[in-house]
């Protein structure tokens, strides 16, 4: 009696029919860059991604996520003189104003307010130095080995740096928080503001939200020493990517081109729909053979070398002798690359095409004329 659950252990196949479209690697103006799949943790493109660089206002990604995790969004924060008048981008805070943390976060991420960064840092960390300690603690926890923070806003400092890869790791972490996601995808935000009868309006400096419809975040940056820095995210279908460019002269186009390259790679069908996985020894009365095929494609970004390392493990969880129809789900196909489990797709039944007219008459002829096959003896 065969077991109801059959595990076909390490049925190894390198598919000859893999549908693979090679996307041309884009040229980028950035000195360092990375395109990173936030779900699979796969690097789709990199250029000196581990190099330590000045990062300017994309620092505020760290400031924002720490404030969201540690603060109370509706908590009013009293603005003091240390926050007012910080050089660079500002939301023009005034001493004595009481601004909710939520509003300061929008001012931080949409308008890149350095004054908002200091106000948040002092409220969350007790002081700017205390907050910087928390920033470096979080960086260590996340494995940002080429990063060190010296302030909450990103103004140039000798001991303030990160890398494209580290910023991709940080953004991947931050984007898991729904409040962070909501802030960085906003094009406009309005708040009641102390000392004025009209609402304070924050318009997002991140033009990529408009330039690239799939984009859903996150932050621009610029100082004379850092040059233009940019972190964006974009989502198409199941794929959510983050792109980081540091010291780029043409960052909007860099990001657009990198996303087009990445999403083209991600559309690769590592295993197509209808791929024949097993030929069984089961035939029906019409001489059709029972085959096991994939119900849907399995997409994963692979290159020429990786597709040769693709391995599969069919798991049949249904007694095949009882299958009578096509399209019955009979199990699933586990997919591996370099020993790492990537995911699975359902397996379904499929009966081969019925024998042709010539084949059927050939069988009738042989049945009656060939000894041992029935008919005349």
Active site residue 47: no
Measuring CA to CA, which residue among 220, 217, 216 is closest to residue 230? 220
Residue 365 or 339, more confident: 339
User: Binding site residues, as ranges?
Assistant: 219
Catalytic (active site) residue 236? no
Q: Is the pLDDT of residue 271 over 70?
A: yes
The reported pLDDT for the residue numbered 229 is: 99
Q: What is the pLDDT of residues 39-84, one digit of tens each?
A: 989 999 999 999 999 999 999 999 999 999 999 999 999 999 999 9
Q: How far apart are CA 374 and CA 24, in angstroms?
A: 62
Active-site residue among 42, 89, 112, 147? 112
CB 28 within 8 A of CB 248: yes
Provide CATH code, domain 6-18+270-357.
Answer: 2.60.410
Residue ranges for the known binding site for substrate are: 219
- Is residue 376 over pLDDT 60? no
Number of Cβ within 10 Å of residue 375's Cβ equals: 13
318-338: per-residue pLDDT in tens?
789 888 889 999 999 999 988
Mean pLDDT for all residues in the chain: 88
Catalytic residue flag (residue 163): no
Catalytic residue (one of 47, 54, 57, 138): 57
pLDDT band at 358; cut points 50, 70, 90 = very low
Q: What is the CATH number of domain 32-266?
A: 3.40.710.10
Band of the pLDDT at 367, cuts 50, 70, 90? very low
Q: Which is higher by pLDDT, 11 or 177?
A: 177
Residue 19 has pLDDT above 70, yes or no: no
Whether the per-residue pLDDT at 110 is higher than 90: the answer is yes
**Two domains, one topology: 6-18+270-357 and 32-266:** no
For residue 249, is pLDDT > 70? yes
Q: What are 130-144's pLDDT values in tens digits?
A: 999 999 999 999 999
Q: What is the C-alpha to C-alpha distance for residues 59 and 156, in angstroms, rounded to an integer?
A: 11
Report residue 270's pLDDT band, with 50, 70 and 90 as the boundaries.
confident
pLDDT, position 22: 57
Mean pLDDT score, 222-242: 96
- Considering the chain, what percentage of its residues have pLDDT values greater than 90? 71
- What pLDDT band is residue 85 in, cutting at 50, 70 and 90? confident
What is the pTM for the complete model shown? 0.77
The mean per-residue pLDDT over the stretch 80-95 comes to 95
Catalytic residue (choose from 47, 60, 138, 265): 60
Structural domain spans, the chain: 6-18+270-357, 32-266
Task: Report, as an integer, the average pLDDT of 353-377.
Answer: 47
CA-based torsion, 199, 205, 206, 212: positive or negative: positive
Check whether 7 has a pLDDT greater than 60: no
């Amino acid at each position: 009696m065969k077991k109801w659950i059959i595990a076909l252990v390490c049925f190894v196949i390198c598919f000859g029919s893999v549908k693979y479209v090679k996307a041309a690697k884009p040229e980028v103006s950035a000195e360092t860059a990375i395109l990173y799949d936030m779900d699979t943790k796969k690097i789709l493109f990199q250029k000196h991604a581990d190099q330590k660089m000045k990062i300017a206002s994309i620092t505020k990604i760290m400031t924002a996520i720490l404030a969201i995790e540690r603060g109370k969004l509706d908590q009013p924060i009293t603005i003091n003189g240390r926050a007012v008048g910080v050089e660079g981008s500002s939301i023009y805070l005034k001493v004595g104003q009481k601004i909710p943390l939520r509003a300061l976060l929008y001012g931080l991420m949409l308008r890149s307010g350095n004054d908002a960064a200091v106000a948040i840092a002092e409220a969350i960390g007790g002081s700017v130095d205390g907050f910087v300690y928390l920033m470096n603690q979080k960086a260590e926890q996340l494995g940002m080995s080429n990063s060190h923070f010296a302030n909450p806003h990103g103004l140039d400092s000798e001991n303030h740096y990160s890398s494209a890869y580290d910023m991709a790791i940080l953004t991947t972490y931050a984007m898991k928080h729904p409040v962070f996601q909501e802030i960085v995808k906003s094009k406009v935000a309005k708040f009641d503001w102390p000392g004025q009868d009209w609402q304070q309006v924050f318009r997002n400096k991140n033009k990529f939200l408009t330039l690239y419809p799939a984009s859903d975040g996150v932050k621009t940056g610029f100082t004379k020493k850092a040059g233009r820095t940019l972190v964006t995210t974009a989502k198409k279908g199941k794929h959510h990517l983050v792109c980081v460019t540091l010291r780029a002269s043409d960052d909007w186009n860099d990001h657009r081109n990198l996303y087009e390259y990445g999403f083209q790679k991600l559309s690769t069908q590592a295993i197509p729909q209808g791929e024949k996985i097993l030929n069984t020894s089961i035939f029906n009365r019409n001489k059709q053979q029972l085959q096991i095929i994939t119900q849907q494609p399995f997409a994963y970004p692979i290159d020429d070398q990786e597709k040769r390392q693709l391995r599969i493990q069919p798991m049949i969880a249904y007694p095949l002798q009882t299958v009578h129809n096509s399209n019955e789900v009979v199990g699933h196909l586990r997919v591996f690359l370099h020993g790492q489990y990537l995911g699975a797709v359902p397996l379904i039944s499929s009966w081969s095409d019925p024998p042709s007219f010539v084949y059927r008459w050939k069988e009738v002829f042989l049945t009656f004329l060939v000894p041992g096959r029935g008919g005349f003896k």
